[in-house]
Copies of this chain bind each other. A is one copy, B any other.
Amino acid sequence: MSNDSPPVGYLLKQAQSLLHVRMEEALKPLQLTVSHYSCLYRLRLEPGISAAVLARRTFVTRQSMNVMLQQLIDRGLVTRPSQADSGRALPTVLTPAGTAALDAAQLLVERVQNRMLGGLSATESAALAGALTACVTALGD
């Protein structure tokens, strides 16, 4: 038997890269990048989060996140107080416009995700999620 599938690392990169491209295409009509979407998505899950935490959740640096947040603030999708009531962390939240944009974006993104998982059964999709989670854990979260 010839077991010559590409290494898992390569497949991971390929799948992630391709998904990113497809998401970018899908979000283009909304003038949103994948990074913007990730940011908004996270802010709905954890409202009032700090930029530093948000950065870690989306796998970028604080500095990059602050640049992106400024863009989103300028477009009125996000708000952040200019001064912290306690500590230095500035709690960031979605504006109504931000929520609306996220709703629209989510629809497009889910379409891409469904397309990606189209060839898999529900069981297989769940197994994929489980395996990826195990990989993350093993690599020392």
Asked if B115 and A138 make an inter-chain contact with CB atoms under 8 angstroms apart, the answer reads yes
CA distance A4 to B131 in the complex (A): 15
> Does A134 interact with chain B (Cβ within 8 Å)?
yes
Asked if B116 and A17 make an inter-chain contact with CB atoms under 8 angstroms apart, the answer reads no
CB-defined contacts of A137 to chain B, threshold 8 Å: 119
Smallest CB separation, A104 vs chain B (Å): 17
Asked if A12 and B15 make an inter-chain contact with CB atoms under 8 angstroms apart, the answer reads yes
Chain A contact-residue range equals 35 or more
Q: Give how many copies assemble into the complex.
A: 2
The listed residue (B6, B8, B19, B59) touching A116 by CB distance below 8 A is B8
Asked if B132 and A15 make an inter-chain contact with CB atoms under 8 angstroms apart, the answer reads yes
Asked if B116 and A138 make an inter-chain contact with CB atoms under 8 angstroms apart, the answer reads yes
> Does A16 interact with chain B (Cβ within 8 Å)?
yes
Asked if B23 and A109 make an inter-chain contact with CB atoms under 8 angstroms apart, the answer reads no
From known contacts A18-B139, A127-B124, A139-B19, infer whether A11 and B115 are also in contact, taking CB-CB under 8 Å. no
A interface with B by C-beta (< 8 Å)? 5-9, 11-19, 22-23, 59, 109, 112-113, 115-120, 124-125, 127-141
